[in-house]
Amino acid sequence: MAALRRGTAYLIRAIFSSSKAAVSKPRKCASVVYTAAASLAVGGGLCAVPFKQVENLSHDSLIRRAASLVTDSSSTFLSQTTLALIDAITEYSKAVHTLIALQRRYLASLGKLTPAEEDSVWQVIIGQRAEINDRQDDCKRLESTWINVVKLCETAAEAAYSSGAEHASITMSSNIQVALSQVKEAQKLSQDADKKLAETKVLEVQRMAQQAASSEEEEIPEAYLRED
């Protein structure tokens, strides 16, 4: 009977101990789960932040990047000087056409103007010729700068190509071709204006010679013009 009581008491303690362990174990597991969940939440937050990828900072990549920057700045330099040169050539052509119009109007009214009117017209023509000289000086100055810029851009394109920046080199070469074409068209217009001005000068010389000959004939006494 005593043995039966001792066995029963042992069994009760064993059951109580296992139940206590079963109760405390889930708490420990829950603590572990909560800790893991918190860690996962923090980790998920860090993963959501967009980190910038570190590029390859090798010498070749830095050289290619520098070559692209050089071609970009050279393209800007070329576009600005090209625009300035085209504007200067255009203004020169306009000044030449204005002079042509003035000279032709003068030739059309030759012999019909009073000395005062003729002097006034010549003052305008002289002023227009001075403006043409100024415009021509501007064209020469800007053209010299533009030629140097084109050479600079050609060098930049070659350097970009040799450094592996093929796209920058191709873009630079294309910009050079566009600039050359635009300036060539503007120069063609100015050359046509110069040609018309030269023709007008020839016409002016002929008309002045005719006017001088006519004046000499008028000054010769009528007696000398009669036949013997």
Residue 23 has pLDDT above 80, yes or no: no
Please, what is the average pLDDT of the chain?
78
**What is residue 217's predicted lDDT score, i.e. its pLDDT?**
55
CATH code that applies to domain 59-215: 1.20.58.70
Percent of the chain predicted with pLDDT > 90? 53
Whole-angstrom distance, CA of residue 131 vs CA of residue 112 = 27
Residue 150 has pLDDT above 50, yes or no: yes
Q: Give the residue extent of every domain in the chain.
A: 59-215
- What digits encode the pLDDT tens for the residues 206-222? 888 877 777 665 554 44
- What digits encode the pLDDT tens for the residues 83-100? 999 999 999 999 999 999
Q: Can you list the alpha helix ranges (DSSP code H) found in the chain?
A: 2-48, 59-108, 115-162, 166-219, 222-225
Q: How confident is the model at residue 55 (pLDDT cuts 50, 70, 90)?
A: low
- What digits encode the pLDDT tens for the residues 93-133? 999 999 999 999 988 888 788 889 889 999 999 999 999 99
End-to-end Cα distance, the chain: 191
Whole-angstrom distance, CA of residue 207 vs CA of residue 205 = 6
